[in-house]
């Protein structure tokens, strides 16, 4: 298969709305090719019987899926594909070689220009979704070129999108945005944004190029939720819009449509991090933030043993989307350890994995004591030496009353719900009694009109667990027990520095998780070997400055 001179894709001279050299686009096209062929009943379904040793050409073949399907089903055919993308052609040739399809070949050519083939060379020309390749003015010369390449009686099959019927308002809006983007960039034939319009213009264009026996055949692809094609179509749409986002913004289409009116996309209409696509190469990788650190990808909570005389081995690995909170994973990890019959008696965790709900549920569900820093009381009363904080009140849960240090009882006990903390209890005292209290200034800073003490506490079990944990954390016993958790920090450091734990080699959550499992297994093997060789655990690293300070 000859290649056309030059490389228009590399020089930026192509008209494809996507990046033809993008790995994400290559993967998207393979997915799109697969479900399109399935919807049409096969690569050549619906065509009349072709002559033996037919010559077939796919125009804009991408990674070559359609060509390879035809070559496999018809070993006597000579099937070729041309595309502007050099990486996609290289990939297609590699696939043909790996499948030993000697009747399939590929070359780099720009289908918007005259092609390097003689007249009357092919029995079948095939092309799909050229609405994203050919601008409006490029369609007539392209169809004329197809007429030149076809043998008498040859077949030109063009597959284009007609319309998408949906009950989803969001999907309808995104389609309208896409259609208007195409029109503004010079593609499609429907200025009102109701459709792409290419399929409706093909019959007159074909007649003008002297094609005969023109037929239109409709294929319906159901992509509703739960249908077989839904996962592939949904993934394809996600990646396509992520790849197009920079172009949409540059085209001035950073808006959405509501009731037929254009609305600029403000900050409150941007989806949350769990839904927003940050990378076109991996739609499952989302934005994560920890203090001032931002990244796009995943998290990998690790759980290891902590026996002082045995090697510290990783016993649990999970991979989560980056926006998922650590606290949401604690019970999930413990449940899996419990189901595997290896639950820890004490679970040493970072502060992010601790909440009052976790403290209570872990003990009640699995018999596991969670040991980690709990949230401190940030109210000003707790930070003032003479302040009256919540721990100084006596709570009568049965009668739903609280008693302050001055012996006064509350007048109201109501349940409230907040976004981050549902099922809270709000306790209020009498305004009259609080105003007369000699220690009013130690507990109330409100305006004179509402000078009364108000408490907000968690349900009884969570409140008791929180108060006990705060008391325990001030003890030397807790500091000694929690010091064992330092080992997991060394594990993370070893995984990052020796096993590239923070770099995912593969796209997708499942493949990234497989990499994390392999890394954890490798760490365990290294540690087992060191333990069997009698190598002691290395002490905590001391910086050069600290060593100099100690020496002084």
Nearest by Cα to 37 from 59, 12, 68 = 68
Residue 49 lies in a domain: yes
Residue 173: which of 269, 97, 83 has the closest Cα? 269
Query: What's the whole-number mean pLDDT along residues 248-277?
Result: 61
Predicted confidence (pLDDT) per residue in 367-404, tens digit: 999 999 988 888 888 888 899 999 999 999 999 999 99
Bridge-based pairing state of the strands 255-258 and 104-108: unpaired
Tens-digit pLDDT profile for residues 444-471: 887 767 788 999 999 999 999 999 999 8
Q: Looking at residues 189-204, what average pLDDT do you find?
A: 83
Most confident of 235-249, 254-268, 514-528: 514-528
Cα gap 490→485, rounded to integer Å: 9
| Higher-pLDDT residue of 510, 172 | 510
Q: Mapping DSSP to helix (H, G, I), strand (E, B) and coil, where does residue 404 land?
A: coil
Residue 114 lies in a domain: yes
pLDDT at position 482: 86
Among 453, 403, 452, CA closest to 431: 452
DSSP string, 464-496: HHHHHHHHHHTSHHHHHHHGGGHHHHHHHHHHH
pLDDT band at 5; cut points 50, 70, 90: very low
Instruction: Tell me, yes or no, whether 236 lies in a domain.
Output: no
CB 50 within 8 A of CB 75: no
Mean pLDDT over the full length of the chain: 86
| Torsion sign across C-alpha atoms 527, 531, 535, 537 | positive
* Per-residue pLDDT, 62: 94
Q: What is the pLDDT of residues 39-66, one digit of tens each?
A: 899 999 999 999 999 999 999 999 999 9
Q: Residue 538: what pLDDT?
A: 72
- The answer, yes or no, to whether residue 166 has pLDDT greater than 60, is yes
Nearest to 140 by CA among 63, 67, 198, 94: 198
Domain presence at residue 478: no
Which of 433, 458, 483 terminates a domain? The answer is: 458
465 occurs within a structural domain: no
pTM score, whole prediction: 0.54
The better pLDDT of the pair 166, 102 is held by 102
**Residue at which a domain ends, from 458, 491, 518:** 458
Taking the CB of residue 357, how many other CB atoms lie within 10 A of it?
19
CA gap 181, 245 in Å, rounded: 11
Closest CA to 460 of 407, 409, 412, 415: 415
Tell me if 300 is assigned to some domain. no
Q: Which of 123-137, 167-181, 420-434 has the highest mean pLDDT?
A: 123-137
- Check which CATH number belongs to the domain holding 114 and give it: 3.40.50.150
Tell whether 122 is covered by a domain. yes
Question: Which is nearest to 396 in space by CA: 406, 382, 381, 410?
Answer: 410
User: What domain count does the chain have?
Assistant: 2
Indicate whether 486 pLDDT > 70. yes
pLDDT per position as a tens digit, 270-314:
667 776 767 767 778 888 888 888 888 999 999 999 888 889 999
In a 13 Å sphere around the CA of 234, the CA atoms on its Cβ side amount to 10
pLDDT the model gives residue 272:
73
- Residue 134: pLDDT above 80? yes
- Using pLDDT thresholds of 50, 70 and 90, give the confidence band for residue 214: very high
Q: Please report the pLDDT score of residue 9 as a whole number.
A: 43
**Final residue of a structural domain among 458, 486, 518:** 458
* SS3 category, 310: coil
Q: What is the pLDDT of residue 283?
A: 76
Residue 244 pLDDT exceeds 70: yes
Segment among 70-84, 191-205, 312-326 with least mean pLDDT: 191-205
Which residue pairs, CB below 8 angstroms and at least 24 apart, start in 399-402?
402/427, 402/429, 402/455
In a domain, 124, yes or no: yes
Report, as an integer, the average pLDDT of 257-278: 63
So what's the pLDDT on residue 130?
95
pLDDT in tens, 74-130: 999 999 999 999 999 999 999 999 999 999 999 999 999 999 999 999 999 999 999
Q: How confident is the model at residue 11 (pLDDT cuts 50, 70, 90)?
A: very low
Give the range of the structural domain holding residue 441, as residue numbers without chain letter.
380-458
Which pLDDT belongs to residue 119?
A: 96
């Amino acid at each position: 298969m000859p290649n056309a001179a030059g490389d228009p894709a590399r020089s930026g001279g192509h008209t494809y709305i996507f990046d033809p050299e993008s790995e994400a686009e290559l993967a998207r096209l393979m997915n799109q090719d697969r479900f399109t062929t399935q919807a049409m009943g096969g690569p050549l379904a619906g065509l009349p019987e072709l002559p033996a040793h037919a010559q077939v050409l796919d125009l804009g073949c991408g990674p070559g899926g359609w060509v390879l399907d035809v070559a496999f089903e018809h070993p006597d055919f000579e099937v070729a594909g041309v595309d502007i993308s050099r990486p996609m052609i290289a990939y297609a040739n590699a696939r043909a070689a790996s499948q030993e399809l000697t009747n399939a070949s590929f070359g780099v050519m720009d289908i918007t220009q005259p092609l390097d083939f003689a007249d009357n060379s092919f029995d079948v020309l095939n092309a799909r979704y050229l609405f994203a390749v050919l601008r409006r003015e490029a369609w007539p010369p392209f169809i004329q070129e197809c007429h030149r390449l076809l043998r008498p009686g040859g077949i030109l099959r063009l597959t284009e999108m007609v319309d998408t019927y949906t009950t989803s308002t969001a999907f309808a809006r995104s389609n309208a945005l896409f259609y208007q983007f195409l029109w503004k960039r010079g593609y499609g034939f429907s200025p009102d944004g109701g459709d792409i319009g290419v399929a409706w213009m093909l019959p007159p264009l074909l007649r003008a190029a002297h094609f005969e026996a023109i037929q239109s055949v409709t294929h319906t692809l159901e992509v509703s939720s739960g249908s077989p094609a839904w996962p592939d179509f949904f993934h394809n749409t996600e990646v396509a819009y992520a790849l197009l986002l920079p172009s949409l913004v540059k085209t001035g289409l950073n808006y959405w449509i509501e009731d037929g009116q254009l609305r600029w996309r403000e900050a409150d209409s941007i989806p949350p991090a769990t839904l927003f696509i940050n990378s076109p190469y991996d739609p499952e990788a989302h934005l994560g933030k920890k203090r001032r650190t931002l990244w796009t990808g995943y998290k990998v909570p690790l759980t290891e043993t902590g026996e002082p005389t045995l090697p510290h081995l990783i016993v649990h690995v999970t991979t989560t989307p980056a926006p998922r909170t650590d606290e949401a994973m604690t019970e999930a990890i413990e449940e899996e350890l419990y189901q595997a019959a290896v639950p820890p008696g004490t679970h040493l965790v970072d502060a992010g994995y601790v909440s009052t709900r976790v403290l209570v549920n872990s003990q009640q569900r699995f018999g596991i004591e969670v040991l980690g820093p709990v949230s401190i009381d940030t109210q000003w009363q707790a930070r003032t030496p003479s302040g009256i904080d919540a721990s100084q009140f006596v709570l009568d849960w049965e009668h739903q009353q609280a008693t302050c240090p001055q012996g006064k009882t509350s007048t109201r006990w109501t349940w409230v719900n907040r976004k981050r903390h549902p099922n809270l209890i709000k306790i209020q005292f009498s305004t009259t009694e609080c105003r007369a209290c000699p220690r009013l200034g130690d507990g109330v800073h409100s305006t004179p009109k509402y000078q009364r003490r108000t408490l907000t506490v968690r349900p009884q079990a969570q409140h008791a667990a929180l108060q006990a944990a705060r008391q325990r954390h001030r003890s030397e016993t807790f500091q000694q027990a929690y010091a064992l958790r330092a080992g997991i920090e060394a594990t993370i450091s070893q995984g990052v520095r020796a096993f590239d734990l923070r770099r995912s080699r593969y796209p997708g959550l499942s493949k990234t998780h497989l990499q994390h499992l392999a890394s954890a297994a490798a760490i365990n093997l290294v540690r087992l070997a060191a333990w069997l060789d009698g190598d002691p655990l290395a002490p905590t690293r001391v910086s050069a400055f600290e060593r100099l300070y100690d020496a002084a």
